[in-house]
């Protein structure tokens, strides 16, 4: 077969990929050919524009390092990460909503006892976090692993500092107690711009978009026989709740900060000074739904 033109070339390529022995690979190969060809037919790029597109993707790849994943940032800012998240989390009604993992999760974060200060010296207003973890049957989950991480008052994560992984702060792991509850102390995080000094930042500028995310605390919560929950809690008084650059905000994850006075807390813990409080009850879906 030869002499392909702009209408016959798509079928020719589809014909060529149709023999992929792995069915899933075949379905994906066919879809990418169809959508990519339709995209080109719609946009009708000039040769110069196509070369610029390839140079852009090349820069995205070149920006990636062990601690910087520009392709994930591209997926996040084009709303693709949240679309993949939505497709993979068609959860039962009362299960806690999910959102993007983001690039600042660190494997093997330090484990803390309940009630400890996990801020690692980050400067900001003190914050109490109290939570409960249950299954969709409302039964408390004892020993759930609750991992959390957040930015400081300037909107930076520990791993963005010069010392990076060597000076972790504002992150950790705790385990729920016999009532399925956990608590820790930290500081109030600020809204922040995603890393925008690379090609994704250039794209945002060209699209006249700001790079900000509203203030939030990330959580990853796991327990046997439950689907691991990746989510954030957003602070209700934060800017950018309606224009999050990665489209991750959901109403059910927005929390008003409460005021906690020195002494006993609403959940029977005790703090030594006045502070803001973030309270939330997480519900894990069953694994293998």
Closer residue to ligand BEZ in complex, CB, 70/130 = 70
Q: Taking a C-beta distance cutoff of 8 angstroms, is the pair 161, 154 a contact?
A: no
Distance in angstroms between the alpha carbons of the first and the last residue of the chain: 47
- Decide which of Fe ion, ligand BEZ, none touches 183; Cβ closer than 5 to 8 Å per partner kind: none
The residue among 234, 203, 162 whose CA lies nearest residue 70 is 203
Closer residue to Fe ion in complex, CB, 144/246 = 246
From residue 193, give the alpha-carbon distance in Å to each of 34, 39, 154, 211, 245.
Answer: 35, 30, 10, 5, 9
The residue among 268, 188, 202, 282 whose CA lies nearest residue 235 is 188
User: Residue count at the site for ligand BEZ (CB under 6 A)?
Assistant: 9
Cβ at position 76, least distance to ligand BEZ in Å:
4
- Decide which of ligand BEZ, Fe ion, none touches 82; Cβ closer than 5 to 8 Å per partner kind: none
Taking the C-alpha atoms of residue 176 and residue 143, their distance in angstroms, rounded to an integer, is: 5
Show contacts with ligand BEZ in window 63-82 (CB under 6 A): 73, 76
Cβ at position 101, least distance to ligand BEZ in Å:
7
Interface stretch with ligand BEZ, choices 37-45, 96-104, 160-168, 176-184 (CB under 6 A): 96-104
| 104 forms part of the interface with ligand BEZ (CB under 6 A) | yes
Identified binder of ligand BEZ from the candidate list 200, 221, 246, 277, rule CB under 6 A: 246
Pairing mode, strands 229-235 and 216-222: antiparallel
Cβ at position 103, least distance to ligand BEZ in Å:
5
What's phi and psi for 270, nearest 5 deg? -145, 135
Closer residue to ligand BEZ in complex, CB, 194/277 = 194
Select the residue whose beta carbon is closest to Fe ion and give its number.
102
Q: Taking a C-beta distance cutoff of 8 angstroms, is the pair 12, 30 a contact?
A: no
The residue among 123, 258, 273 whose CA lies nearest residue 189 is 123
Show contacts with Fe ion in window 83-122 (CB under 5 A): 102
Taking the C-alpha atoms of residue 188 and residue 267, their distance in angstroms, rounded to an integer, is: 20
Show contacts with ligand BEZ in window 174-203 (CB under 6 A): 194
Cβ at position 12, least distance to ligand BEZ in Å:
39
Q: Binding residues for ligand BEZ, per CB under 6 A?
A: 73, 76, 100, 102-104, 194, 213, 246
């Amino acid at each position: 077969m030869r002499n392909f033109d702009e209408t016959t070339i798509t079928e020719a390529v589809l014909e060529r990929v149709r023999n992929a022995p792995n069915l899933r690979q075949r379905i994906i190969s066919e879809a990418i050919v169809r959508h990519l060809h339709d995209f080109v037919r719609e946009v009708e790029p000039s040769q110069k524009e196509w070369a610029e597109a390839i140079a852009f993707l090349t820069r995205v790849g070149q920006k990636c390092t062990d601690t910087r994943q520009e392709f994930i940032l591209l997926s996040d800012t084009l709303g693709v990460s949240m679309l993949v998240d939505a497709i993979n989390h068609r959860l039962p009604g009362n299960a806690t909503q999910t959102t993007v993992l983001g690039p600042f999760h660190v494997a093997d974060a330090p484990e803390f006892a309940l009630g400890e200060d996990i801020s690692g010296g980050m400067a900001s207003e003190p914050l109490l976090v109290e939570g409960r973890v249950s299954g969709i049957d409302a039964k408390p989950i004892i020993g759930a692993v609750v991992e959390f991480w957040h930015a400081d008052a300037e909107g930076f994560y520990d791993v963005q500092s010069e010392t990076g992984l060597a000076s972790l702060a504002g992150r950790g792991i705790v385990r729920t107690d016999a009532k399925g509850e956990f608590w820790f102390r930290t500081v109030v995080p600020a809204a922040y711009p995603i890393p925008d000094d690379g090609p994704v930042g250039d794209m945002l500028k060209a699209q006249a978009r700001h790079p900000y995310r509203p203030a939030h605390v990330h959580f990853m919560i796991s327990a046997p026989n439950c689907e691991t929950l990746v989510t954030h809690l957003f602070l209700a008084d934060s800017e950018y709740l309606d224009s999050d650059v990665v489209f991750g905000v959901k109403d059910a994850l927005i929390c008003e900060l409460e005021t906690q006075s020195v002494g006993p807390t609403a959940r029977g813990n005790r703090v030594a000074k006045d502070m803001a409080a973030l309270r939330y009850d997480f519900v894990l879906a069953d694994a293998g739904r």
